[in-house]
Chains A and B, each alone.
Chain A
Amino acid sequence: MNLKTFIGGAALLLSLTGVSSAQIGMGRRADAPSKGPTIKQIDANGLRKALTPSRKPLLVNFWATWCDPCREEFPDLVKLDAEYKGKIDFITISLDELSEIDRDVPKFLTDMKAPMPAYLLKAQDDEAAIAFVSKEWSGALPLTILYDPSGKQIYYRQGKVKIDTVRAEIDKLLIPGN
């Protein structure tokens, strides 16, 4: 079997088993797609899983394309992601309408060259989702939270992120023994 035949067969197998490119790119950094952002729709259960760290500190940014401060802070977040690549997990969760999952959300992330795994939350009950994330959260965007590997919230910022503060908190978590 030559390489072309193997690749063709693998592609056919994936299409037959219904595994879409979107699903392939759903996981954390290791599973992130190499080309263009893929946005995974999540509900309350998906949110719970997304907010569970996987042996590394987890940074989460809640945002929306309609939120000015969210868009303004995004370049800083992309830099932060590059700076800590491999040391932490960093995901973004959009609160845009579901109709934007293949329109404005990926367009913005492409413009930002944002490689972080991206989700769009469509909860049946926004209020319950907000309360699950934090009892302190009013629902105002943006919101950025840093979790330690055990899932404890270490940093919580409602409003534009203070990049030096986040960096300092991540650095503290990355000190051996912490």
Chain B
Amino acid sequence: MFRKTAVLFAIVTLFAFVLKPETGFAGDFAIGSTVENFSLPDTNGKVQSLNDLKGKNGAVVVFLSAQCPVVKGYNQRINELAAEYQDKGITFIGINSNSTESLDWVKSHAAENYKFPVLIDKGNVLADKLGATVTPEAYYFDAKNVLLYHGAIDNDKSGKAITDSYLKVAFDSTLSGKAIAKTRANAFGCSIKRVGD
């Protein structure tokens, strides 16, 4: 009996190792989880926190990059969403976790492209905590910092054939008191360049 159990355990362990993906981050942050308040410096060095920046209906933490062409393609859509939902109590917080992008670069890119703060996640600590791997990647938290939606902004990076505006639908569902039908969606994008990659 012991021998059979030991063999079974060995097989399960072996499979766990064989199939364990190499991604270099801690793991996914589940929908419904509450994120602890975090504080990070913005591009001017001023430390800002989630709790200070969030609106009465929550906040979107969106991982960005100053050099990713996919992010570039989304900038206008991100700004439009940020402007529209700012008035509805949902604020946007940009996060740059890329170890390969200099502060000057991120600062000028943020000033040129966004009307919301971009915080510097040195050492990709927040990216690791949330399991963020790609840019752009959005995390929509309610006013109590509970994760409501995680993933892509919409289903077409080119913006030419969008058939599902995931993030906007998530906002509208929440604001009208309905459950979010799709709480998770993936999309192609640039990998976050972590320290040591």
Contact = CB atoms under 8 A, between A and B. Distances in A.
A138 B22 contact: no
B191 A97 contact: no
Interface string B152-195: 10011110000000000000000000000000011111111110
Interface residues of A, number: 30
Contacts, number: 81
Interface residues of B, number: 30
A95 B19 CA distance: 24
Interface-central residue, A138, A154, A155, by most chain B CB under 10 Å:
A138
B5 to A, nearest CB: 25
A163 interface: no
A131 B186 contact: yes
Interface string B47-81: 00000000000000000000111100000000000
A7 B185 CA distance: 52
B158 A97 contact: yes
Interface in A139-177: 139-142, 153-160, 162, 165
Nearest to A129: B188
Interface stretch (A13-21, A25-33, A60-68): A60-68
A126 B155 CA distance: 7
A141 B189 contact: yes
Contact of B70 (A66, A131, A165): A66
A127 B187 contact: yes
A136 interface: yes
A126 B157 CA distance: 9
Majority secondary structure, B binding face:
loop
B188 A126 contact: yes
Nearest to B19: A153
Contact of A154 (B18, B23, B133): B18
Contacts of A159: 22-24, 191, 194, 197
Contact of A140 (B19, B100, B157, B189): B189
A22 B72 CA distance: 32
Given A158-B21, A158-B23, A138 B134 contact: yes
A77 to B, nearest CB: 16
What 9 A-B pairs are tightest by C-beta distance, nearest first? A140-B134, A140-B191, A66-B69, A138-B133, A156-B21, A139-B186, A136-B21, A140-B133, A139-B188
Interface of A: 64, 66-69, 95, 97, 125-127, 130-131, 134, 136-142, 153-160, 162, 165
30 contacts: A64-B188, A67-B190, A67-B191, A68-B67, A69-B197, A125-B155, A126-B155, A126-B188, A127-B155, A127-B186, A130-B187, A138-B186, A139-B186, A139-B188, A139-B189, A140-B189, A140-B190, A140-B191, A141-B188, A141-B189, A141-B190, A153-B19, A157-B21, A158-B21, A158-B24, A158-B133, A159-B22, A159-B191, A160-B197, A162-B22
Interface of B: 18-19, 21-24, 67-70, 100, 133-134, 137, 152, 155-158, 185-194, 197
